[in-house]
Structure 1
């Protein structure tokens, strides 16, 4: 008998369990979830998990509450529950320590569209230039959305540009807010890491977290409601540094530096953070045919990240300030706001048309700084704290959606949806302190260590507007066949137009068994940050001469002279085909294969440099010492193929309670094609190489796990709720390119993770929970010497199991 893969074994086991469950008793919560009417990816009013033509996951409030305990944030909970969702940790990664990027189906963080109550969520403002995943993007900050505000989340795992516009290449995540019109709850959580850290043979207890959440709802008038809440949280940092072997470089082998050998001088790990969040969801009945609504979220988060240690005797230190060396800390302050309001109801005496008209404002402001640092070129007069710059993004949108039923002589009335959207987007940056980038009179690297700051000449203030319109027609063509056709046209003021289309269908093969599939065209508009971001790093070269490395806006005169081309929208062709099976009211299984081809994917180019380039910029533009540049470019095409398997089975009457099994597996693989080389202008300057280098190619293809499998069992009765979840995180590969042909590479093996939680209902209103995440204290594969930076970074950030070890928590909840 041939050996079966873990995915195949799990699928066969689940199929056997599902078949055995045909005679099981009906269990209400499972049935309610399967029959939940979907609002994402369709305008028809009768689509559920059971009859959707495209794969949709529905995550309940209870699912999220039990998955959020480890990291205390929404994105980590999504990674726990969705195998196709990846949320890698970042450390010593500049802005990436403060705003982490997430992926769906292995695609770029900015290729997934996020909605709140069906309205587009805004992007974060910070542009990550040092992170591995999401380098050069400013995606949505999932962790700015309060978990306690959420009623459920619908995740559409399919392209949906024809329905929602830009960004929906990998799929759509629609976060639906709590709308209960009575009652409330207060919840407190205390947790921390307890781990046996092998690299230093220590037992570590750190990363203590304290969280408090509360919410309340009440009725307003006839059918109206107001629901609101607040969250506060503090998390201490963790440190998973190994013993420092001290780099054996000539300038670092002094006795003062060697005295730090064998110590934990670095601090890779989770950042320290404090956050406060408020949220509101409301609806008010104006008359029998009209309802007003408003909702909003607000969060302020302050965080501190780690940077590399600076040794006492080094070009990075002024001993008069730090006689024993120092380790800078990056600081971030994020302020995030979304406010939306609108009217919905029915038009006309016959109420033929349903409408939804709304305004939606989203804004993120990020202030970036440094502490425990210095500007070496300023000598002993250097400050030790710096403001590195401000980043801001904003979108203001208007949308109007109309739906009605049409009698076309089919099995059921068809649904016609029409809509328009207008949106204004803006992005701005402001310079940091002059000391954070200035060149002082002393030798040494100018600018703040672990910085530098954004220079005044790099500040930008950009905006654009767009308008889009769509039409969507769906119908049960026969008793067995449902089809949905959508068309959309968008026009952007800065890059032009996009036309997208989608056709999806579901065919009932037999009772409970259906074939479903979709084909679509999608696009992602280049972000304003990618079209206009500018950044300069100043250094000293041989003999103390000043030099610069510049990230250039593609529209700048220098970039144009070097052959940079105006950014085009990324375009995608999506196709999916799957089967859904419901052998009983308490069991379901679906498997969906997909194929996504993205053309003109936007990345940050490799660093481009030559003596001729430096001379050209000085001669033609009067800027001396520019010895390296990069810019955003449509440099590569990608092809992603994968398959998702999702199933659930509920048994009633097991040991006096109900037992629910869930299985979710995801596999995908991305390959690259049509990697562009430098153009004629750069070749004339002696630069002839691919614009996408080895490290970025690794990020796009193998840095995220290609597979993940989650098996969970949840047993509950009137007094207890017990949860066990086993997750297999697939292997990842890390490639570094240190130049000169030195490209250390390592593949990190797959890792199993086990999570447990036990909840006891002390009274009808009060419950206590104890749990653990990664209770077997698993770590990734140890990094090889060429990657561990002389023992200081024993574990890489890529593995989704993380590098912090086991986390334990206690939770108390009071409902009223």
Structure 2
């Protein structure tokens, strides 16, 4: 591996420093600045997917989609992820997140993990969030940048590279790259205000943003944007049969706690199914100073978010004193809350030395998430002391990234139709991740209701460094044929070395038709959050949570720490431009990912109701009938020992035994962890068709974008030998459970298409989008009391058409008033099965009835239509 490192450095120096020719140096161009706002996007100079200067999107050898600031604005969304998802079929926004993920919804490209898409700002890597997702499925383990801290008013345009680009930008760009180019105007600006809400209930949205550019001194620019946005709760659940109706559970609760009817919203008290409330302020700037052939530049952002999400309603009997008197006479609805601060700053120096362009930059980003629970309590603390806080500080997540880069390029004339563009560079990066423990009251005994606090056993600080070098060469053997190759070597302080490559080619058969293709490899190191997140909690009857994948306890189970993911990408397609007004691109892709990192299913070290053979304790009649295989699944000594080790060597006795000294039938000891869980294949086709149709009343700009995408789990990794493998039903003990596998394969629409039309005159504008989403589905086990109790059933979100419309008017110069709707006809996803799921919850008086109205994997959300108005002043 040392040879590769040395060879890369020698090749870099030889190609970029020793071959400078004075004749060529006179003609070499500096690296292009971001495209100006008034350029036509289809003709804009792109800086993503190529190291060649001056290339337009129409000439790109790789598929790339562009969106300018006006297109983003016309989506009607103050949130950047939603804007991208509505316009680009290969992008899907997370509709709903449980627990902490409600505060930081993510996006996926081509159905892959958010961690597989590299986010850049002005070509520089954006730091990730500290709020790692511990869910299963495609969003599990995600720690991608929080896009909500990027105000849309700061954006000039976005370049979305839909192609593997690990060799060019970093070994996590497996699905593609989203490069956000900031505005750099040195004069003028705008102020925009938006209000909106859902048709049926909630989601009240207010957003005020401003952008202004000026020149502090000659040959400089300073462009700054500010956004203040607030969004209210929404609710899409049903009444709670635990406190309403004629079932026995409700009647008992109402008789014992009559004040329950005074709970706000009664009987719709379980309000977890809906959006959180968000109050957020963000500032972003972009600045530069040009002197001769050189430029000093800087950009950065600062944001603060206060967000709260409802958790499951708790009945009055959950928190009572030693006499049985409730702390909350009508019950309570805990709120998980975050107070998050996120900032980043980049400074750089670029220009020309002779014929060589250079760009030296340093970027630091930091994200700090304070985790709180509000309107809650600790039942153990209240019972033991007669006191409980109602608000808890559960702990903090923190993450940072410091990236330093040197990029060089040089056009070398070797007698071909155009000079060979040589590029190369170095990157050094340091990442950190940590958990800070919470208030003792948050993890005492049963812990804060709805979110157990992070105890000192979970706290820790972790870091890694990475050093990378890359080489890139782009040449044209003939005027019609472009070849671009890149190789990248990276060394991680915790994983060692890897080398990846990319080879891209495009051939213009005629001025109207070109073919293109790419083959590349990729490598993604686990995020520090995936490797070191620790969430072990101790309740009155249970010990459970997430065991750090890189811990000694996980190693004792045979996991041995996370290994990097590896990928191979293939793509091929064509570009057809029969006239300047028509363009068509079609690109197919095939992506193999090996050692995909996923969160495992649960493994049990103790499950009280599964008693050993011959058990004769005082509550033996409560045991599940003994079956050796079942007992071995739920009472694994290796898991028990690992969890005990993570807690310092002891599992509390009350989890294992009841007050009589018998086996605790309600007790459980279980863990999950992140693991290299599966090999996967993703394949599909991207299509983009654009047509500018002239009419007597102005041009109609038509667009049709489509994506066909399939994700398939090829193989699940085997269990470590320390864990028990069922000889009766091996699927019951697989490393990745069948529900996660189903979600990975079926939560992304296999076909998505969007037909758009935009028309604008001097006075009016109309923007119309019609999107089609094919069916998605989830797999669940029918509850007891269902006609198919215990059986696995699929729950679909049927194929749907969604219409978005915006109409604008310009009453005076510089003022635009717009009204619009996302999901104009208030379409909802298919409701979950009443006969097989919800009726059983209702009959049992279960909280699941209130929260299971709509499938949360709906690709267009669960809230129905959103309607808004906007006024914008340009100056």
1:99-158 Cα deviation digits (max 9, x unpaired): 112100000111100000000000000122247651232221111111111000000000
1:254 paired to 2:257: no
**Pairing 1:307-386 to 2, within 5 Å after superposition:** 307-314=311-318, 319-347=325-353, 351-379=354-382, 380-386=386-392
Aligned position for 2:267: 263
Aligned position for 1:74: 80
Aligned position for 1:240: 236
Aligned position for 1:675: 716
CA drift of 1:167 comes to: 1.3
CA drift of 1:704 comes to: 2.2
Cα distance in structure 2, aligned partners of 1:400 and 1:29 = 27
1:581-620 Cα deviation digits (max 9, x unpaired): 1111111011110000000000111111143235544887
1:730 paired to 2:774: yes
Q: Is the 8 A contact 2:525 2:564 kept in 1?
A: yes
* Stretches of structure 2 lacking an aligned partner (at least 5 in a row): 1-35, 606-634, 653-667, 784-788, 839-847
1:38 paired to 2:36: no
Aligned position for 1:443: none
Aligned position for 1:646: 688
Secondary structure of 1:113's counterpart equals: strand
Secondary structure of 2:744's counterpart equals: helix
Residue from 698, 701, 717 that aligns with 2:761: 717
Aligned position for 2:147: 142
1:534-573 Cα deviation digits (max 9, x unpaired): 11122233xxxxx411422223222111111221111100
1:797 paired to 2:856: yes
Distance 1:49 1:757, change over 3 A: same
Cα distance in structure 1, aligned partners of 2:464 and 2:267 = 51
Q: Is the 8 A contact 1:254 1:313 kept in 2?
A: no
Secondary structure of 1:540's counterpart equals: coil
Q: Which has the larger radius of gyration?
A: 2
CA drift of 1:263 comes to: 2.2
Q: Is the 8 A contact 1:95 1:130 kept in 2?
A: no
Cα distance in structure 1, aligned partners of 2:574 and 2:438 = 54
CA drift of 1:375 comes to: 1.3
Q: Is the 8 A contact 2:604 2:639 kept in 1?
A: yes
Aligned position for 1:423: 429
1:420-451 Cα deviation digits (max 9, x unpaired): 00011101110111111111xxxxxx011110
Distance 1:249 1:421, change over 3 A: farther
1:662 paired to 2:703: yes
1:806 paired to 2:831: no
CA drift of 1:289 comes to: 1.9
- After superposition, the CA RMSD in angstroms is 2.4
**Pairing 1:152-301 to 2, within 5 Å after superposition:** 152-195=157-200, 204=201, 206-246=202-242, 254-256=252-254, 263-267=267-271, 268-285=273-290, 287-301=291-305
Cα distance in structure 1, aligned partners of 2:320 and 2:524 = 41
1:145-188 Cα deviation digits (max 9, x unpaired): 11111000000000000001121000000000001111011111
Q: Is the 8 A contact 1:106 1:706 kept in 2?
A: no
Distance 1:537 1:661, change over 3 A: same
Residue from 585, 598, 603 that aligns with 2:593: 598
1:301-344 Cα deviation digits (max 9, x unpaired): 11110111112345899752111111111111121111001000
Aligned position for 1:510: 510
Cα distance in structure 1, aligned partners of 2:181 and 2:374 = 39
Cα distance in structure 1, aligned partners of 2:149 and 2:343 = 9
Secondary structure of 2:851's counterpart equals: coil
CA drift of 1:748 comes to: 1.0
1:706 paired to 2:750: yes
Aligned position for 1:306: 310
Distance 1:226 1:787, change over 3 A: farther
Secondary structure of 1:239's counterpart equals: coil
Distance 1:401 1:154, change over 3 A: same
Cα distance in structure 1, aligned partners of 2:68 and 2:545 = 46
Secondary structure of 1:624's counterpart equals: coil
Q: Is the 8 A contact 2:319 2:378 kept in 1?
A: no
Cα distance in structure 2, aligned partners of 1:194 and 1:619 = 51
Residue from 809, 823, 833 that aligns with 1:760: 809
Residue from 665, 668, 671 that aligns with 1:629: 671
Secondary structure of 1:746's counterpart equals: strand
Secondary structure of 2:509's counterpart equals: strand
Distance 1:586 1:187, change over 3 A: same
Q: Is the 8 A contact 1:319 1:325 kept in 2?
A: no
Q: After alignment, is 306-315 or 36-45 more displaced?
A: 306-315
* Stretches of structure 1 lacking an aligned partner (at least 5 in a row): 1-27, 196-203, 440-445, 542-546
